[in-house]
Amino acid sequence: MKTIFHLDMDAFFVSVERILDPSLEGKPVIVGGDPHGRGVVAACSYEARQFGLHSAMPIRTAFRLCPQGVYLHGHGKEYGRFSRAVKRHLERYFPIVQQASIDEFYLDFTGCEKIYGEPVQFAQKLQSEIWEKFHLPGSIGIASNKTIAKIASDFKKPRGITFVPIGKEKEFLAPLPIERIPGIGKATFPMLRSRGFKVVGDLANASPDYLSALLGKFGTDLWEKANGKGNDILVTGHERKSISKETTFDKDLVSKPKIEAILFELVSEACQLLRNENWQTSTVSIKLRYTDFVTLTRAKTIEPTDDDKVVFEIVKDLFEKSFNRRVGIRLIGIHLSKLNHFTEQCILFEDNGTIRKRMLRAVMKIRDKYGFESIRIGKTEID
């Protein structure tokens, strides 16, 4: 049997915002944008959750429940920087690290006891190191498979550690409400409740054929999860198929220069991601959504590149050809696809292109260490 850790960073976006601005400590903080706008809550502090707030709640509802909260647009680039730093720290210890999202990681501890000691003891050490080095709180679940480890990491938040011994999975799950099982959402939950399923034990004791007839393949998967079974294979080396960046405006925009400036920022962020993973893009697309919700997309195939200047020139051209209606823009986005790995080869004679590639990689390293805003590539250069 394997030993799997699931590290889930506690209120990760809020934790990063508090590092950037310590005055937010102890306050109800909501990341998601203008409380009078169209967005949703991306994350909220535990102080805010006491008022009934939760992720994915409409931001206007959140403001009605907690008008005294501190509402922030957030710093997406900083979240990515801290996430990469945590991952690098984890890779010092674990032979296999699977990043499930920006703030959660599966870690294979199997066979590491002889090196690091007992799982709970090492989890305490890891939790303390992440706090001391990054000032980020996290909770850890430890179990024989990924499903149980993920449920366990949410058991004692914040900064909790929950260990489920081998053979005790079903016992651990039985008293928990059914919504603790990953995959039971807004549609499935009321249907199961209406049929008498309240706790996970009810699902475990049901007939697998009945759940299969009720929910198809998901019903079979649900029965297995309720009985403590789950996948213990960590997936690494997942390759991106595309990179997308978009933004919805609080107020519809009609100013072409302002929209182009926002496109420039989106291109900068997307190309930074390309270089972080040694990718180049061959297809550049844009998306425009007008005030009346008419949505247009345009794309162009190009020679592989990760250069902000090249990508922005394509994006700007596509935008100029698409922005031809006398109504405002409510959403703008870019999409980079057909990604290929970039391998930098030894070059005997440098030209301007080679120098620029090295400059861009130097910019990448500085941003990774000190933050995206620490160095800028001027828009004047691109124009």
This prediction's pTM = 0.66
CB 290 within 8 A of CB 253: no
Q: Which CATH architecture has domain 170-226?
A: Orthogonal Bundle (1.10)
| pLDDT value of residue 374 | 54
Task: Give mean pLDDT in consecutive 10-residue pieces for the chain, a chain of 383 residues.
Answer: 96 96 97 84 94 92 96 90 94 91 94 93 97 97 96 94 96 96 86 95 95 91 94 74 85 90 91 82 93 90 90 94 88 91 45 56 57 55 40
| pLDDT value of residue 371 | 54
Strands (E), the chain: 4-9, 29-31, 43-44, 70-72, 97-101, 104-108, 138-143, 161-163, 242-253, 279-290, 295-305, 329-341
Tell me the three-class secondary structure of 233-300, residue by residue. CCCCCCCCCEEEEEEEEEEEECCHHHHHHHHHHHHHHHHHHHHHCCEEEEEEEEEEEECCCCEEEEEE
| pLDDT value of residue 235 | 78
Dihedral, CA atoms, 167, 172, 173, 175, nearest 10 degrees?
140
Domain at 242-382, CATH homologous superfamily: DNA polymerase, Y-family, little finger domain (3.30.1490.100)
- Whole-angstrom distance between the N-terminal and C-terminal Cα of the chain? 58
Spell out the domain ranges in the chain. Answer: 1-166, 170-226, 242-382
| pLDDT value of residue 269 | 87
| pLDDT value of residue 381 | 41
| pLDDT value of residue 277 | 74
CB 284 within 8 A of CB 299: yes
Cβ contacts of 96 within 8 Å, gap of 6 or more: 107, 108, 234, 236
- By annotation, the residues acting in catalysis are 104
**CATH code, 1-166:** 3.30.70.270
